[in-house]
């Protein structure tokens, strides 16, 4: 099976996992659940849950405990996109080729849909405890020990899921992005925005995958380094695409960074230097992966794909 076919198959499988965790019933809150469904079903590459699952498999994970976290991560990512598109922030009318939530459902309901996805993400992630093997006999010391260990692993993964989207992660990066728009950014400021606004969820995804698979501390540190490089490369490639891609390719307005006065890696260094940096960061990620035990073939191909993506 070639990479493109494998990517398509994995994306479809992840889509099914994600959608099975979406709310099934609603009464007076139906409008907001419809808005949640509308944005979650708009497609997308599902890169974050894919990186999470592939990291989990890399370190030997083979259970279903990863699935609630995969769904939760995509909910958090989608909530951030809903809020990013709002008039108060990026004021975008299109996302993934469809009208954005605030255009379809109104600004108030879009805010609530984003809030709902964020809250529902943690409700969803907590279902991972259902996959923990419960000790049937409390006098069986080994069974009790195993259950406690599995619960502590889920606890640690939840802590990462709580930290990285917050003020010391994604939101922190977004705050800096909003406040510094229109100013001449230093390299330190630009790196802070990129490694948090975009990189934090990628780092969380791969770290959670490693934690749930039982990776040791050195392995978790290494995979976080891989995730950092992928996150930085991903955002710089976004900058490039904003300059050279078409609306049809991106499914959203082009040149939006320039029009909003944002300073990007491309603004400072130019497209050619940006392309070289994307390739360098991606190659560094691949180099670290190659030093790890386990089959990282698809992860390496996925990293390479992210360099050359058109949307």
Q: What's the CATH number where 12 sits? A: 1.10.600.10
pLDDT digit string (tens) for 59-110? Answer: 999 999 999 999 999 999 999 999 999 999 989 999 888 999 999 999 999 9
Return d(Cα 49, Cα 69) in angstroms, integer: 8
Task: Output the CA torsion sign for 36, 62, 226, 157.
Answer: positive
Looking at residue 243, what is its pLDDT?
84
Beta-carbon contacts of 66 under 8 Å, excluding residues fewer than 6 positions away, are 52, 53, 56, 128, 209, 212
Looking at residue 250, what is its pLDDT?
53
Cut 0.75: pTM above it: yes
Q: In the predicted model, is pLDDT for residue 138 greater than 90?
A: no
Structural domains in the chain (count) = 1
CB 111 within 8 A of CB 8: no
Looking at residue 213, what is its pLDDT?
97
**Proportion of the chain above pLDDT 90, given as a percent:** 73
Residue with token string 């510094």: 180
pLDDT digit string (tens) for 252-283? Answer: 555 565 555 678 888 888 999 999 999 999 99
Instruction: Compute the residue count for the chain.
Output: 311
Give me the domain span that covers residue 226: 3-308
pLDDT digit string (tens) for 145-195? Answer: 988 999 999 999 999 999 999 999 999 999 999 999 888 888 899 999 999
Q: CA dist 257 to 116, 118, 262, 292, Å? A: 28, 26, 5, 37
Query: What does the angle CA 48 – CA 49 – CA 52 come to, to the nearest 5 degrees?
Result: 90
Looking at residue 257, what is its pLDDT?
58
CB 47 within 8 A of CB 54: no
Q: CA dist 116 to 103, 106, 132, 274, 290, Å? A: 18, 15, 26, 36, 39
Rg (CA), the chain: 20
Task: Output the CA torsion sign for 267, 272, 275, 279.
Answer: negative
């Amino acid at each position: 099976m070639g990479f493109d076919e494998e990517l398509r198959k994995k994306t479809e499988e992840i889509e099914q996992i994600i959608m099975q965790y979406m709310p099934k019933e609603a009464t007076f809150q139906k409008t907001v659940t419809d808005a949640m469904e509308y944005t979650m079903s708009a497609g997308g590459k599902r890169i974050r849950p894919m990186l999470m699952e592939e990291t989990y498999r890399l370190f030997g994970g083979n259970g279903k405990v990863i699935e609630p976290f995969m769904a939760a991560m995509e909910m958090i990512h989608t909530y951030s996109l809903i809020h990013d598109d709002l008039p108060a922030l990026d004021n975008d009318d299109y996302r993934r080729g469809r009208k954005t939530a605030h255009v379809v459902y109104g600004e108030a309901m879009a805010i609530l849909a984003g809030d709902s996805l964020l809250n529902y993400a943690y409700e969803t992630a907590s279902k991972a405890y259902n996959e923990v093997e419960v000790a049937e006999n409390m006098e069986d010391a080994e069974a009790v020990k195993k259950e406690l260990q599995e619960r502590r692993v889920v606890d640690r993964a939840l802590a990462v899921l709580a930290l990285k989207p917050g003020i010391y992660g994604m939101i922190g990066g977004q705050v800096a992005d909003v406040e510094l728009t229109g100013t001449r950014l230093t390299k330190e400021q630009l790196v802070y925005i990129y490694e948090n606004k975009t990189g934090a969820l990628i780092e969380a995804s791969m770290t959670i995958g490693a934690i749930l698979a039982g990776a040791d501390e050195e392995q978790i540190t290494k995979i976080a380094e891989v995730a950092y490089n992928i996150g930085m490369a991903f955002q710089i490639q976004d900058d490039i695409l904003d300059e050279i891609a078409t609306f049809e390719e991106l499914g959203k307005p082009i040149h939006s960074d320039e029009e909003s006065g944002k300073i990007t890696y491309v603004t400072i260094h130019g497209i050619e230097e940006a392309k070289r940096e994307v390739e360098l960061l991606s190659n560094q990620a691949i180099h670290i992966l190659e030093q790890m035990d386990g089959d990282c073939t698809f992860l390496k191909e996925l990293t390479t794909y992210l360099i050359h993506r058109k949307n």
